[in-house]
């Protein structure tokens, strides 16, 4: 394993390392908190998973473009976004913003924003409102970035045609010998496949604008101050061109469920309409100023879509033998898929109420 202190020493930061400890709960990269002897602030060190993010240079360029743009917006128009902040990447001593180690691994470091808090669960409507407001603010601040100037880090990331093609190939290949035991989940996914082309069809028809999208809008990618107010959005690995509905839908999938993403007791999994309403209210407080009618009208559907497509990806990875997502135990991806599909069923049962909530908020903004 790499000597992490030596990795840190490659970056242009004044830090005599006190400790480097695992940090956070991400599925893809390995993240560490670096504390220093002589200064009070710390840093976040990350090993970039270059099997997932295969063009580290372009990935880094995306992050620099977005963080610098947001910083410029805040410096010129910060009074409209009181308290909002953006993280700063630390350059390597050779001037680049990533370091390639001798063993072929890629690393980056960012300044740790002190006195901040993050949450893995949305525990209250107040927290949901703040998260929605933070992601709405992030999208507002990047709404004048030309989406085509960003590299597509993971091509066709939420393209339902591609994900269904991969899913069906995993069934045919049956490389892990798991198809027979997952027939119920396979049938569930297939029965909804046609409906789930709705967003892609709107985009293909030119009815949805392509925008800068975050593509990982979990609440643990929002930083809060000690008073519980959200003030920053982090983890910009998957920032790229896309449809804004993907961001809203994934935030609801992860933030308005009564169960964990891998909940074993499916009776605990349903959509929490109070959290859905609070997130939507915080989000639309900012986003109503730039969303089109078509986008607003499909916010509720986007929650169903993102729950479906992530469940489909978990199921595909299970069928392939768990090659993509980190797993904690045998059958972990199958459990994740089952929880997502149960959440989708709850959204289907409450879909009319979700639409009415969005319509009610939209008319008051």
DSSP H helices, 116-204, are: 125-141, 160-173, 183-191, 198-204
pLDDT reported for residue 143 = 95
Q: What is the Cα–Cα distance from 85 to 73, expressed in whole angstroms? A: 11
Instruction: Name the percent of the chain in helix, strand, coil, to the closest 5.
Output: 50, 15, 40
Q: 125-364, superfamily in CATH?
A: Aminoglycoside phosphotransferase (APH), C-terminal lobe (3.90.1200.10)
pTM of the model as a whole: 0.92
Q: How large is the average pLDDT for residues 202-207? A: 97
CATH topology match: 4-111 vs 125-364 = no
Please tell me the predicted confidence (pLDDT) of residue 1.
43
pLDDT above 90: residue 68: yes
pLDDT digit string (tens) for 113-141? 888 999 999 999 999 999 999 999 999 99
Start-to-end CA distance of the chain, whole Å, equals: 53
The model's pLDDT over 30-55, given as tens digits with 9 standing for 90+, comes to 899 998 887 677 899 999 998 889 99
Across the range 22-27, mean pLDDT stands at 74
Average pLDDT, the chain: 94
Tally Cβ neighbours within 10 Å of residue 167.
Answer: 22
**Nearest to residue 15, comparing CAs of 47, 51, 50, 40?**
40
Q: Which residue has the higher pLDDT, 27 or 72?
A: 72
Residue 100 in tokens:
């390639």
Taking residues 271-292, report their average pLDDT: 97
Sorted by sequence, the CB contacts under 8 Å of residue 294 that are 6+ apart come out as 202, 207, 208
* Domains in the chain: boundaries: 4-111, 125-364
Mean pLDDT of the region 289-308:
97
Percentage, residues of the chain above pLDDT 90: 86
Give the C-alpha separation, 185 to 319, whole Å. Answer: 11
Q: Using the predicted structure, report yes or no on whether residue 363 has a pLDDT greater than 80.
A: no
């997130």: which residue's tokens?
A: 279
pLDDT digits (tens, 9 = 90+) for 5-17: 999 999 999 888 8
Place of tokens 């990047």: 142
Please check the confidence at residue 170 and state whether its pLDDT lies above 60: yes
- CATH level 3 topology of 4-111: Phosphorylase Kinase; domain 1 (3.30.200)
What pLDDT, on the 0 to 100 scale, is given for residue 136?
97
284 pLDDT higher than 80:
yes
Contact yes or no for 307/340 (Cβ under 8 A):
yes
**pLDDT tens digits, residue range 309-343?**
999 999 999 999 999 888 999 999 999 999 999 99
């Amino acid at each position: 394993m790499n000597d992490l202190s030596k990795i840190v020493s490659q970056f242009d930061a004044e830090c005599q390392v006190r400790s480097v400890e695992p940090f956070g709960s991400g599925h893809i990269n390995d993240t560490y908190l670096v504390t220093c002897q002589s200064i009070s602030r710390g840093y976040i060190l990350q090993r970039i998973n270059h099997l997932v993010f295969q063009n580290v240079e372009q990935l880094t360029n995306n992050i620099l473009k977005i963080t610098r743009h947001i910083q410029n917006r805040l410096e010129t128009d910060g009074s409209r976004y009181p308290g909002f902040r953006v993280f700063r990447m630390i350059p390597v001593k050779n001037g680049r913003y990533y370091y390639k180690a001798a063993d072929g691994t890629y690393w980056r470091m960012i300044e740790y924003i002190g006195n901040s808090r993050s949450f893995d669960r949305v525990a209250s409507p107040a927290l949901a409102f703040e998260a929605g407001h933070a992601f709405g603010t992030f999208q507002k601040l990047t709404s004048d970035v030309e989406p085509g100037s960003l590299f597509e880090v993971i091509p066709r990331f939420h393209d339902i045609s591609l994900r269904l093609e991969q899913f069906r190939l995993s069934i045919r290949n049956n490389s892990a010998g798991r198809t027979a035991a997952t027939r119920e989940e396979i049938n569930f996914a297939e029965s909804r496949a046609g409906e789930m082309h709705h967003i892609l069809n709107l985009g293909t028809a030119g009815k949805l604008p392509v925008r800068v999208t975050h593509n990982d809008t979990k609440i643990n990618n929002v930083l809060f101050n000690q008073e519980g107010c959200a003030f920053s959005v982090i983890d910009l690995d998957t920032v790229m061109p896309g449809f804004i509905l993907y961001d809203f839908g994934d935030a609801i999938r992860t933030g308005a469920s009564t169960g964990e993403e891998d909940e074993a007791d499916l009776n605990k999994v349903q959509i929490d309409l109070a959290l859905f309403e609070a997130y939507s209210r915080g989000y639309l407080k900012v986003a109503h100023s730039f969303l089109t009618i078509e986008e607003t009208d499909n916010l509720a559907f986007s929650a169903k879509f993102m729950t479906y497509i992530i469940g489909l990806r978990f199921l595909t990875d299970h069928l392939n033998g768990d090659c993509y997502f980190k797993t904690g135990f045998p059958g972990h991806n199958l459990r994740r898929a089952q929880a997502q599909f149960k959440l989708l069923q709850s959204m289907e049962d409450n879909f009319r109420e979700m639409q009415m909530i969005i319509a009610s908020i939209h008319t008051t903004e």
